[in-house]
Amino acid sequence: MRVQFEDMVRQFEKVLLSRGMDSPSAKLSATMIAETSLEGVYTHGANRFYFYVKNIDDGLVDVDARATPVGRFGALERWDAKMGPGNLNASICMRRAIKLAKENTIGCVALANNSHWMRPGTYGLMAAQETCIGILWTNTLPLMPAWGGKDAKVGNNPLVLAIPSNDGPVLVDAAMSQFSYGKMETYKREGRALPFDGGFDSEGKASRDAGAIMESKRPMPMGFWKGTSLALALDLIAAALSGGRTTHSIGTDVESEVSQVFIAISLANLPDRAAIEEKITASLADLKASDAIDPNNPVRFPGERRKSLREENMREGIPVDEKIWEKICSL
């Protein structure tokens, strides 16, 4: 089924207001989550809304708490999210990092004790909108084994790199596992095999069965040993800078009190913005001129399809799994 964007926002808003969230926050949160689905990232939009609300109902997320500054250290600030709504806290901190970047060209906010921030790319797009490079990431609970190990020890710690461009932001939003749990849930729900080995089953065999991988808790890191190395480093940096928890200290029970880093770099502070835009445009054009393996499937830059998907879903309504929408309407 398809749901109109405005209807989706309204439904999310209604549920959040019913959980005691103040009206401007409910509107902002609902809009961010609906926009995620609008732009085709269904796994982190409507599909995840139920868990967002469940965390509030379970007392894991405090609808009234918001991130506040803890200390300023030059161009870096530490903030405490106090387990308020993760997406609201993240947008507060990204906004602050952009402000610091406008003052110092590069600015960083390190955030402790946040709840799940929903779609990571949301905050990268905020940076690009303000003519900033965005570099941001979160840690998570232990979701995958270290390379060579069997038991989940590292997070999948999504990393976002965002770059403003004349063709719309270049947006890389990548978990350090080959497939995020959100993606695997989708494949499992739809009964489809993953396009590549996405992990190991309980017997330790490489597998494309999302359900078996989720059960064994052994997803494949992106690039084998490289993915878990990068994930570990991102985790340690986030915890060190924010003063918050590492993946290890978050533990395996519930994903709460994660650590996040928001770095913004203001291109408007540099003297040659026009030349920068020109060279980015030329690079993207060159990439798109790739000799495609499948001529019907031209090479695209990351983030390129966002605009057309957005337009299509705005026009036709946003595709949602019927059972998921029913569940949302019953909240």
- 67-106: which residues touch its own copies (CB under 8 A)? 71, 73-76, 78, 103-106
199 binds its own copies (CB under 8 A): no
Our CA dihedral for 87, 239, 184, 314, rounded to 10 degrees, sits at: 20
Query: In angstroms, what is the minimal distance from the CB of 74 to its own copies?
Result: 4
For the beta carbon of residue 61, count every other beta carbon within 10 angstroms.
Answer: 23
44 is an active site residue: yes
Q: CA-CA distance, 19 to 191, in Å (whole number)?
A: 34
- 35-64: which residues touch its own copies (CB under 8 A)? none
From residue 228, alpha-carbon distances to 76, 116, 137, 175, 244 in Å are 27, 20, 15, 11, 20
What is the contact mask toward its own copies in residues 237 to 256, using x (rule: CB under 8 A)? x-xxx-x-xxxxx-------
What is the contact mask toward its own copies in residues 145 to 184, using x (rule: CB under 8 A)? xxxxxxx-xx----x-xxx-x----x-x-x---x------
SS3 54: helix
SS3 3: strand
| Rg for the chain, CA atoms, rounded | 20
Among 1, 233, 254, 329, binds its own copies (CB under 8 A): 233
Q: Which of 28, 29, 30, 44 is catalytic?
A: 44
291 binds its own copies (CB under 8 A): yes
287 binds its own copies (CB under 8 A): yes
Q: CA-CA distance, 125 to 39, in Å (whole number)?
A: 12
106-114 and 76-80 strand pairing: parallel
Query: In angstroms, what is the minimal distance from the CB of 305 to its own copies?
Result: 13
Nearer to its own copies by Cβ, of 64 and 103: the residue is 103
Q: In 3D, which of 172, 176, 182 has the Cα closest to residue 304?
A: 172
31 binds its own copies (CB under 8 A): no
279 binds its own copies (CB under 8 A): yes
Nearer to its own copies by Cβ, of 93 and 108: the residue is 108
- Residues labelled as active-site residues: 44
